[in-house]
Structure 1
Amino acid sequence: MQLIITDARFARSRVIHLTGTRLLLASLAASLCLVLLSVGLYHWVFLKGAREGWPVVGSLVRLVTQDEFAERDRFMRANLDEMARRVGEMQARMEQLESLGDRVLGLAGLTPAELPRSGGGRGGALVAARSLSMEELQRAMDDLERVSTQRVDLMTVLESRLFDQHIRKKMVPTQAPVSNRPPGSAFGWRLDPITGQSALHTGLDFQADVGTPILAAAGGVVVAQEYHPQYGNMVEIDHGNQLVTRYAHASKVLVKQGDLVRRGQKIAEVGSTGRSTGPHLHFEVLVQGVFQDPQKFLSAGGAGGAVTAAGSTASAHVAPQVTAAGR
């Protein structure tokens, strides 16, 4: 295709050759300009009409925006309903956790009255079956946060109390100081096997071979490790609350004063040092400096065996008087 342009003023003409490609590009450019112009005019008319309140344009704008707002509201309502359902599930689980915490209170030796509860009473966020507004949902979330904080505080108290109880149990001498050896001579008055006179036996005797491990009956701190004329090689362990255990006549001692020992730890070996008639362990328990029957402690832990009659073992021995060492 050729276009001939004639200029009458200068009496000359110009020829433009148009190929198919040039015509196509020109058409596309013209179409693009028309589209951009239409879009710009559309937005200008609608914006101006919306601002100035043109009757027809204003109605169209309200119709379009109403649909958009309705769709947005449906989307937000669906999300709020899902969040409310989740909050309801969390509130139900929080109630289960609260009931579980109250049951654990009994195991820790506490009662609900001993624990302060903010707001005075039980309960958390109430999530109704109807649709919740954003403000109601926010209040429910705040209530759940408050209840969860209370539960964390309660569980912290319970953990501390149960840990304290666990430690206290470990500090009570309920483990047999010699494994697989029933006690021989019992705590109490009997005939001294050396003097033949009546005397108080202040502990339990465990007859065993020399070198048999002596175990700590409970965890504690070694407060004495020495040789005593009557107790021989002796170890004393303080378990707190003025509770002390004593292990006498050892052939070898494996701990020293100031050492921390755990329940069941090997602290010495059986021997026959001091005032003794044969290899055995003499085991004592003292509370506030007063001798106690060790069998009661061992029986509480299921470690005590049957006690034979006083003085029935060859290694049994007693001290001439209660206050003297070397029983």
Structure 2
Amino acid sequence: MIRTERQKEYYNALLDKNSEYEGVFYVGVRTTGVFCRPTCPARKPKFENCEFFESAQQALLASFRPCQRCRPLSHPNHVPEIVRVLVEAVENNPEKRWNTQDFKDLSVDESTARRQFKKRFGMTFVEYARARRMGLALKNIRSGQSVIDSQLSTGYESSSGFRDAFSRIMGAAPTRLDHMNILRAAWLDTRLGPMMAVADDEALHLLEFIDRRGLEREVERLRQRTKSAIIPGVTDPIRSIEQELAAYFEGKLTSFQTPLELHGSPFQKSVWEQLVNIPSGETRSYRDIAVSLGRPTAFRAVAQANGANQLAIVIPCHRVINTNGELGGYGGGLARKNWLLDHEKQGRYT
């Protein structure tokens, strides 16, 4: 039974359509007989008409049927048909430059496509298609093809337009890429909502929830620190962490083996090493970490290093709490932190 205090917390999250609570709870509405996910766009019921559940199975067993608007039995980030169709169209002709008539030919509303891609990928469809063309241009240039050939093959008649677009998306002008690192960024669907993974061919550099506040600044700092271009794509470390996250959420894995690249000061790295050593199902306080480092008064610096962690779940900053037992902070939101701790402590692998 979910306690009354938690019910009030969940109801406020329902009113706010707070995506941090995706996968944390479901709400059954007594007046309609349906159950929904926290971000359901339907009109919100009164508190007294709500029942809260920790899994869809519990809601079904309580005789509630799934809502037809938010579809709680499907993945919270189910790919809309319009997105699937357009992604497939881009892959069939990745060098294509799209115009209004192309959308009409596919019976697709251009403004709807823009909204759906913005929601799903954080970029419009046109930006998505352009990034795909730029990815091909990068491949061509790195394989020895001249800049002018790459420019023409990706549909840019103006060399200045090509350089500007390339620079915006890749983070570097084409003539400079031979001396730059390349990082790939991928969207990963998880039990607690979508995450972004950024990696090169050797290691994972960043793993964060998509809706984390300040994620854009984190990505930009990573790009500048590594002097890298960041483009959409998948590498072996991204495939590895996707598989490991799936196993973690199924309760089949408690530690991660994906290679990591840590970006921080020596002190921050020492804190992160301590976090990795906290066993799954246990917690430590900021003061505990400071003591383990031989710096018992540095607990505030430990808290700052904890917040600077860019590898959520893998470096388990969610296992660090306040000395008084309160949760403290968490970049992915306290609802997720609480869920992760329950998941690890109680084996709630639903």
Instruction: Please classify the TM superposition score into its range, dividing by the shorter chain length.
Output: under 0.3
Higher radius of gyration, 1 or 2: 1
**Alignment TM-score, normalising by the size of structure 1:** 0.21
Q: Which has the higher strand share?
A: 1
Higher-RCO chain (CA-CA 8 Å, sequence separation at least 6):
1
TM-score (norm. length: structure 2): 0.20
Larger % of helix: which? Answer: 2
